[in-house]
Amino acid sequence: MINISQKVIEIFKTLELNEVEIKIYLALLENDKLGITGISESINLSRTNVYNYVERIEEMGLISKVPDSATLKYQAVSPDKIIEVLKEKEENIKSKISQFKKLLPELKNLESEKNPTQVKMYEGEEGLQRIIEKLLKDESLKIIFHSNIKKPFFPESLKEFTKQSAEKQQHIQEIRSSLNKGTDYNPTKNNPNHLLKIAPESLSLKSDMIITPNRVLLVSYQGRFLGVEISNKFMTETQNSIFDMIWENI
């Protein structure tokens, strides 16, 4: 009967093998070729149960039937195959993560339907920093930015946001009222995903608006920073449509 350490068991469990299946693989690795009876004796398990486990391990590609054998025998594939299986699992996990990210907006919409509307307010410098932290977690943003009014503690915050957004290669569409003379603001320089358009003078902007995949932020700098965050599926969709219409006509 083959003996295996707990450490080996834990490593092989990452392949989603149970303890019996691990023993079967190691028994074949140690003995080269074994039939069902030989496997049964090596791991002290009935032939009937061995059949079921062998079939699953074979489907995983960790063991194979011995060709040209007078009686049905199995052999373990090289341990190098384990690395290939793990790499394949890693790629599958990456693929699933990518697919899940695409589903996130839809899943968040389902969540928002459970709690149709949530409104949060943010004030002062601390509130501004909290908003920026949350915005950096979003995959994409649509921004209407009124750049002609004084924004307290905003230059440093904007610079830091632009830097981190560029590092994340965040997808941003931004409409600005203008580019102030002498400004070095150029978000597209380090982030090709940050698109920028200048609004026509006919578009009157008195505050900022930021649209994320699942909420809308209204921002005012009159006297003291104030941000209002509205989480509502239908309001977000409406503001998205309005933004897209303006964007296409600039």
How confident is the model at residue 194, as a pLDDT? 92
When mean pLDDT is compared across 151-160, 180-189, 228-237, the lowest value belongs to 180-189
When mean pLDDT is compared across 66-75, 94-103, 240-249, the lowest value belongs to 66-75
Q: Please give the structure tokens belonging to residue 151.
A: 């924004």
- 241-246 long-range contacts, CB within 8 A, separation 24+: 243/142, 243/144, 243/173, 243/175, 243/209, 243/211, 246/144, 246/175, 246/199, 246/203
- For 69, phi then psi, to 5°, come to -95, 135
CATH number of 6-77: 1.10.10.10
Residue 196 Cα distances to 140, 145, 191, angstroms: 14, 10, 11
Query: Nearest CA to 164 among 205, 135, 206?
Result: 135
Helix (H, G, I), strand (E, B) or coil at 187: coil
- Average pLDDT over every residue of 46-66: 87
Residue given tokens 């700098």 in the structure block: 221
Beta bridge partners of 210: 143, 217
How confident is the model at residue 190, as a pLDDT? 82
How confident is the model at residue 182, as a pLDDT? 45
128: how many CB neighbours lie within 10 A of its CB? Answer: 23
In 130-242, DSSP assigns E strands to 140-145, 171-176, 194-198, 208-211, 216-220, 226-231
Task: Give the span between the Cα atoms of 162 and 137, in whole angstroms.
Answer: 13
Mean pLDDT of the chain: 83
Name 22's Cβ contacts closer than 8 Å, sequence gap at least 6: 4, 8, 9, 12, 13
How confident is the model at residue 122, as a pLDDT? 93
| 98-134 per-position pLDDT tens digit | 888 888 877 776 765 666 788 999 998 889 889 999 9
* Bridge pairing between strands 208-211 and 140-145: antiparallel
Query: Nearest CA to 21 among 41, 64, 50, 59?
Result: 50
Residue 60 pLDDT exceeds 80? yes
Residue 150 pLDDT exceeds 50? yes
* CATH class held by domain 115-248: alpha beta
